[in-house]
A = this chain, B = another copy of it.
Amino acid sequence: MHRIASWREGDIISDIYLCRTKVVGKTKTGKSYYSLSLQDGTGNADGKVWDLSSGIDHFEALQYIKVEGEVQRYQNALQLNIRRIRLAREGEYDPADYVPTSPYPIDGMYDRLLGYIRSISHAKLRALLEAFFVNDAAFIREFKAHSAAKSVHHSFSGGLLQHTLRVTELCDDYCKKYPLINRDLLLTGALCHDIGKVRELSAFPANDYTDEGQLLGHIVIGMQMVAEMANRIPDFPEVTKHELCHIILAHHGEFEFGSPKKPALLEAMALHFADNTDAKLEIMCELLTENDAHGWLGFQKFLDSNVRRTET
């Protein structure tokens, strides 16, 4: 199989890819053409179909297609000049191969997450975590397969798990350094802080904002999920429920980033720093990994700076 990450200029391709988007364009001379975004688990590339008159069967975005063509270079990027397209047939491909996936093994990460849950002393908080991460098979399946974002960072399957685990590890590290922190509360907040994303973003291959996600956002959705679960656990303390909800509401740290409350508890501050640290460092690491150029990479909107790889 010819994975997109291993394409080289001049390669002749005959393989199956997920067609993420399909746009019909028109050249200045009035001829129609297709501009496609092709995807497999290793990356994305543009594909162009200049001649629609023969060899191009009907297909739609988010279908799997067998394409034939040649890899060409266009403005420093590779793209596929496509001559033939047909729909792929069930059994010809495994959808799992077409989803970008965390570089870390999902099950290994999940085991470590469960280890953190077992380390929680507060019985009610542990019960709440188990209700999600141990007992709810549908939630577990979704949580493991989800990304943490549409595109900014961790936008691959397993990304939500990877980010959640990393934030939890950072928080656990803070607990050793700042003994005033209530570890049970902070780790519960860390493990739950982004669970609203399983409803804010649709599953792969779409991995796009849901209507509920656009209207309410993962912060409020996640807080609701936690509050409803706490309400179902007998004798869950009210003040603990409010503190946990606050920690989730405040984890973006600032109003302008969508938190309706600023961090008012030590654990809320700690979670905000852990979340922000992992998000920004991951953006930078993904950028440096995708891009093997030396020198300055240009202005990066999410980092609000021009950046470059360290040379020391």
Chain A contact residues, CB within 8 Å of chain B: 23-30, 33, 50, 72, 74-75, 81, 122, 125, 166, 169-170, 173-174, 177-178, 180, 182, 184-185, 209, 211-212, 214-217, 219-220, 223-224, 227-228, 237-240, 242-246, 249, 255-267, 269-270, 273, 276-277, 280-282, 284-285, 288-289, 296, 303-312
Q: Which residue of the partner chain B has the closest CB to A73?
A: B26
Known: A25-B75, A26-B74. A266 touches B220 (CB 8 A): no
Q: Are A75 and B26 in contact (CB under 8 A)?
A: yes
Contact partner of A260 (CB less than 8 A), chosen from B25, B30, B258, B262, is: B258
Q: Are A265 and B75 in contact (CB under 8 A)?
A: no
Tell me, rounded to whole Å, the shortest Cβ–Cβ distance linking A184 to chain B. 7
Known: A306-B214, A311-B243. A30 touches B178 (CB 8 A): no
How many protomers of this protein does the assembly include?
A: 6
Q: Which residue of the partner chain B has the closest CB to A76?
A: B24
Tell me, rounded to whole Å, the shortest Cβ–Cβ distance linking A274 to chain B. 8
Contact partner of A185 (CB less than 8 A), chosen from B27, B184, B185, B310, is: B310
Contact partner of A264 (CB less than 8 A), chosen from B75, B177, B261, B308, is: B308
Q: Are B184 and A264 in contact (CB under 8 A)?
A: no
Residue of A24, A185, A277 most packed against chain B (CB within 10 A):
A277
Q: Which residue of the partner chain B has the closest CB to A186?
A: B310
Q: Are B264 and A273 in contact (CB under 8 A)?
A: no
- Contacts of A309 on B, CB cut-off 8 Å? 266
5 A-B pairs with CB atoms under 8 Å apart are A174-B277, A174-B281, A215-B242, A215-B261, A258-B261
CA distance A284 to B178 in the complex (A): 10
Tell me, rounded to whole Å, the shortest Cβ–Cβ distance linking A263 to chain B. 6
Q: Which residue of the partner chain B has the closest CB to A297?
A: B264
Name A's interface SS.
helix
CA distance A179 to B96 in the complex (A): 27
Contact partner of A30 (CB less than 8 A), chosen from B72, B122, B125, B282, is: B72
Q: Are A177 and B182 in contact (CB under 8 A)?
A: no
CA distance A266 to B300 in the complex (A): 13
Known: A177-B166, A180-B288. A261 touches B306 (CB 8 A): no
Q: Are A273 and B270 in contact (CB under 8 A)?
A: no
Q: Are A305 and B220 in contact (CB under 8 A)?
A: no
Known: A30-B72, A72-B30, A312-B182. A264 touches B305 (CB 8 A): yes
CA distance A239 to B295 in the complex (A): 12
- Contacts of A228 on B, CB cut-off 8 Å? 228
Tell me, rounded to whole Å, the shortest Cβ–Cβ distance linking A256 to chain B. 5
CA distance A305 to B246 in the complex (A): 13
- Contacts of A261 on B, CB cut-off 8 Å? 215-217, 220, 258
Known: A27-B28, A28-B27. A239 touches B311 (CB 8 A): yes
- Contacts of A220 on B, CB cut-off 8 Å? 220, 223, 245, 249, 260-261
Tell me, rounded to whole Å, the shortest Cβ–Cβ distance linking A70 to chain B. 10
Known: A220-B220, A306-B214, A310-B267. A285 touches B180 (CB 8 A): yes
